[in-house]
Copies of this chain bind each other. A is one copy, B any other.
Amino acid sequence: MAAANQIFIAIIGAGGVGKCFLSQLQTLATRRPSPKLTLCYISTSKRAVFSDDYSEISIDTALDSLAASSKTPPELSQVIEYLASAPAKTVLVDNTSSQEVADKYPLALSRGVSIVTPNKKAFSGPYQLWKDIFIAATASGAKVYHESSVGAGLPVISTLKDLVDTGDKVTRIEGVFSGTMSFLFNSFAPTEGQGGKWSDEVKKAKALGYTEPDPRDDLNGLDVARKLTILARLAGLPVESPTAFPVQSLIPRELETCISGDEFLEKLPAFDTQMEETKAAAEKAGKVIRFVGSIDVVSNAVKVGLQEFDRSHPIAALKGSDNIISFYTERYGSNPLIIQGAGAGGDVTAMGVTADLIKVVSQFP
């Protein structure tokens, strides 16, 4: 049975971000006893924990309960029905990167289930899905927040929304949107010193856990393209999909047909010369190369790829796997509003999700 001041939380996904989120949720629930956040559902792709009477699942031991559960997760539409029938407001926390889950957002929202998520797929997929999501939310009053879909916990989405909502005109957005690409180019083409071979840097990044299990999923530029699609749409451009604008892939054409990431990594050294030449050409002009994305709102031009920067440019001077995002607007004039910091990692990504959850909950009567 639901208390007067209770909110039900359902979580899908218990990977890197999901585990960090659980830990933050536990802290939050302890610190803010009201409204009471009651975990009533948690699942991975294989297992689920829930009960028909919405009994509280201890956040402390949720992962253990999940490991011990013999239940398989129900169909998503059944999960949504379960949440929509709960005796209080519900928030679905999608900590996956699953397109299948994203596709169900319009259904969840239309049934009054709010959503917070770092999942990029929902907001960077077909434009029709984007429209369906926000139409459903407006109609039901359910909330949908996705700060961590761009730049992890950095306040990127909220800042862009504030700019737009208060009537500023965003003219241009540019920056480094991938922690992986940031790390790779800060090491391969540092502002001081030489940097290693391209293929060695890719291998190092993979070994350090900075890339996806298959590094091609970073090098193809699609991750950055997805983030730009989200920001462009928030800035008012009806971008059709993340493949609707020029995206430079760093996978050599000859290696596009590799059947595995391992095969790709093995053959990559043969193509180091290509990247070395691009780097040398920039160096000749006193510059360094970086993998950036830009949205020119005025001319409706979105693009992703390599670009040369002066060594003193903030984009060149990034460290580690930091992101940097510059918003050029009418009000801010020639000096952009800049946000910089770690744009990947379980804890900072989960932070964006938790902060979103706090915002959603604060809007419940």
* B163 contacts A351, C-beta separation under 8 Å: yes
- Bound together, the chains give a CA A285 to CA B358 distance in angstroms of 47
Asked whether A33 is an interface residue with its Cβ less than 8 Å from the other chain, the reply is no
The interface size of chain A toward B, counting residues with CB under 8 Å, comes to 44
The smallest C-beta distance from A246 to any residue of chain B, in angstroms, reads: 28
With known contacts A342-B337, A348-B332, A165–B365 Cβ distance under 8 A: no
Asked whether A154 is an interface residue with its Cβ less than 8 Å from the other chain, the reply is yes
Asked whether A28 is an interface residue with its Cβ less than 8 Å from the other chain, the reply is yes
Partner of A341, one of B153, B338, B358: B338
Number of copies: 2
Q: Which residue of B lies closest to A147 (CB)?
A: B162
Residue contacts A-B, CB under 8 angstroms, 12 given: A153-B162, A155-B158, A166-B354, A167-B354, A312-B312, A314-B317, A331-B351, A332-B341, A336-B341, A337-B339, A337-B341, A338-B339
Asked whether A168 is an interface residue with its Cβ less than 8 Å from the other chain, the reply is yes
Binary contact track A324-336/B, C-beta < 8 Å → 1, others 0: 0000000111111
With known contacts A335-B320, A342-B337, A355–B155 Cβ distance under 8 A: no
- Bound together, the chains give a CA A312 to CA B348 distance in angstroms of 27
Asked whether A319 is an interface residue with its Cβ less than 8 Å from the other chain, the reply is yes
Partner of A335, one of B342, B347, B363, B365: B342
The smallest C-beta distance from A81 to any residue of chain B, in angstroms, reads: 26
The smallest C-beta distance from A187 to any residue of chain B, in angstroms, reads: 15
By a beta-carbon cutoff of 8 Å, the part of chain A in contact with chain B is 24, 27-28, 31, 153-155, 158-159, 162-163, 165-168, 312, 314, 317, 319-320, 322, 331-342, 345, 347-348, 350-351, 354-355, 358, 362-363, 365
* B24 contacts A166, C-beta separation under 8 Å: yes
With known contacts A312-B312, A339-B339, A341-B332, A155–B166 Cβ distance under 8 A: no
With known contacts A312-B312, A332-B341, A342-B335, A358–B166 Cβ distance under 8 A: yes
* B338 contacts A338, C-beta separation under 8 Å: yes
The smallest C-beta distance from A223 to any residue of chain B, in angstroms, reads: 20
Q: Which residue of B lies closest to A351 (CB)?
A: B166
